[in-house]
């Protein structure tokens, strides 16, 4: 019966997500089904609810997610995202850097569908580079998401750490390598080998983003930099604050994000009416800033993960299944990829598959690597998923063909997966031999 409940719950989750039901709601329904068919449903549900909403670790995660969405709202309300785009566009001489940097910076806004913010810039600058629509899609998706292998504000990375107990330090090196692989392979796919030649300096011909050739001379760039850099620094100040507090101080993560939100509210560009602007940012960015559907998604997936972790089905499975390369490969690589690809949600994939893997690695000498491999492999599936909101929204905005875009996207995603398999093999060698 527990196996049936787990299968039915997972099936309902997949169906619901495919029909655009909120992942959190779908996961909650799946959790209720699993508990109802487990034989000790009340105790399971009570334990899962406690671990999700009352336990300090679970509560910290939800508060962090809420504050992260608020930070994204404050940065949009303050005009920080637009200022970043304009600042970069005015400084760089090579359009390829614009295509890389704009979605990368937008990636710091850990908000579903935020790739659309950078799509208009990619569309304009991509025309100057003779990029196809599908190349524009690939650049916008991969350059935005590559950083999520190591981004400490990533909701899924936070979830993975909370569910597994694996520290951030374990993700840093392999995640960095995977990030570099995705960035370099994407650049090779979408960019010309050389930047298009500049127009003669005296012609003042217009570029894709409204700058003439004269303005791109080194002297002009230096002159603009003196005024542009302060604007850029003010725009990214909230991100700098949270990274400094989170990585270099013992301050709790929610408090670090709260400091970041305060920075976004109170640090105002010169020339604006200060208190009027602060009040507007507070009303629009803070009061209305929490993205409750995102919080609900995380809460529901955590609840499902905790429910599955306490399911008798896992005890039965762990008792009948040996810790072998085959089982670790199945639950650490294959199942996470499939779940992320079908669901279009990295968060949901981790929440579903991590509880299946954890019992198998509990007695291994150094189990952290398998959790890291699960995180990275599910991310590879998520990047190319046709249910990925950023991908579908970007494709629609740019008028690109999803199938042709997928042919490009699969290359950097596949290369990162090959590295993940090598990393998994390295860990299997030292844990199972």
- Please give the residue range of the domain that contains residue 306: 2-58+293-432
Would residue 259 count as lying in a domain?
A: no
Mean pLDDT value across residues 126-149: 90
Would 415 be classed as within a structural domain? yes
Residue 335 falls inside a structural domain: yes
On whether the CB atoms of residues 82 and 120 are closer than 8 A, the answer is no
If pLDDT is split at 50, 70 and 90, which confidence band does 198 have?
A: very low
CA angle 70, 74, 79 (to 5 degrees): 150
Among 16-20, 93-97, 137-141, name the one with the lowest average pLDDT: 16-20
Residue 1 structure tokens: 């019966």
pLDDT score of 210: 43
Residue 377: predicted pLDDT? 94
Q: Is residue 234 part of a domain?
A: no
Dump pLDDT digits (tens) for 272-315.
Answer: 788 888 888 898 888 888 878 777 877 876 787 677 666 665 55
Task: Report the C-alpha gap between 415 and 363 in whole angstroms.
Answer: 31
State how far the Cα of 377 lies from the Cα of 380, in Å rounded to an integer.
5
Q: What is the DSSP string of 1-45?
A: -HHHHHHHHHHHHHHHHHTT--HHHHHHHHHHHHHHTSS-HHHHH
Number of domains in the chain: 1
The answer to whether position 348 is within a domain reads yes
Side-chain half-sphere exposure of 121, counting CA atoms within 13 A? 28
pLDDT band with cut points at 50, 70 and 90 for residue 433: low
Question: HSE of 331 in the Cβ direction (CA atoms, 13 Å)?
Answer: 23
> pLDDT at residue 196 above 70?
no
151 in a structural domain: no
Mean of the pLDDT values across residues 39-46?
A: 75
Is the predicted pLDDT of residue 220 greater than 70, yes or no?
no
Average pLDDT, the chain: 78
Tell me, yes or no, whether 183 lies in a domain: no
Backbone angles phi, psi at 22, to 5 degrees: -50, 130
**pTM across the whole model:** 0.66
pLDDT tens-place string over residues 315-332: 555 555 556 778 788 888
Confidence of residue 251 (pLDDT cuts 50, 70, 90): confident
Residue 362 lies in a domain: yes
């Amino acid at each position: 019966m527990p196996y049936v409940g787990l299968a039915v719950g997972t099936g309902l989750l997949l169906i619901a997500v495919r029909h655009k039901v909120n992942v959190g709601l779908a996961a909650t329904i799946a959790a209720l089904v699993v508990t109802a068919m487990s034989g000790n449903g009340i105790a399971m549900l009570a334990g899962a609810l406690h671990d999700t909403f009352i336990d300090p670790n679970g509560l910290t995660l939800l508060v962090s997610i809420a504050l992260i969405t608020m930070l994204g709202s404050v940065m949009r309300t303050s005009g920080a995202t637009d200022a970043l785009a304009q600042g970069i566009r005015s400084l760089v001489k090579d359009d390829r850097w614009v295509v890389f940097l704009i979605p990368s910076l937008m990636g710091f806004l850990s908000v579903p569908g935020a790739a659309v913010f950078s799509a208009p810039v990619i569309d304009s600058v991509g025309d100057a580079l003779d990029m196809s629509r599908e190349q524009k899609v690939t650049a916008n998706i991969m350059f935005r998401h590559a950083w999520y292998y190591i981004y400490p504000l990533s909701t899924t990375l936070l979830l993975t750490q909370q569910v597994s107990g694996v520290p951030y330090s374990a993700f840093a090196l392999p995640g960095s390598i995977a990030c570099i692989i995705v960035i370099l392979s994407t650049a090779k796919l979408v960019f010309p080998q050389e930047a298009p030649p500049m127009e003669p300096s005296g012609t003042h011909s217009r570029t894709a983003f409204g700058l003439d050739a004269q303005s791109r001379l080194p002297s002009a760039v230096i002159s603009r930099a003196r005024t542009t850099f302060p604007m850029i620094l003010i725009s990214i100040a909230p991100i700098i604050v949270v990274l400094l507090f989170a990585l270099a101080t013992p301050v709790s993560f929610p408090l670090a994000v709260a400091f970041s939100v305060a920075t976004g509210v109170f640090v105002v560009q010169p020339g604006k009416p200060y208190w009027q602007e602060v009040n507007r940012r507070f009303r629009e960015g803070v009061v209305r800033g929490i993205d409750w559907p995102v919080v609900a998604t995380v809460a529901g997936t955590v609840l499902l993960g905790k429910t599955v972790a306490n399911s008798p089905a896992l005890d039965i499975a762990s008792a009948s299944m040996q810790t072998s390369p085959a089982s670790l490969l199945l639950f650490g690589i294959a199942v996470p990829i499939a779940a992320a690809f079908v669901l279009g949600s990295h968060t949901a994939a981790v929440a579903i598959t991590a509880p299946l893997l954890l019992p198998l690695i509990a007695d291994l000498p150094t189990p952290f690597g398998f959790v890291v491999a699960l995180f990275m492999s599910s991310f590879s599936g998520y990047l190319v998923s046709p249910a990925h909101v950023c991908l579908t929204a970007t494709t629609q905005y740019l008028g690109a063909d999803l199938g042709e875009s997928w042919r490009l996207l699969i290359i950097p995603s596949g290369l990162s997966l090959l590295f993940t398999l090598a990393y998994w093999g390295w860990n299997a060698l030292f844990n199972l031999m």
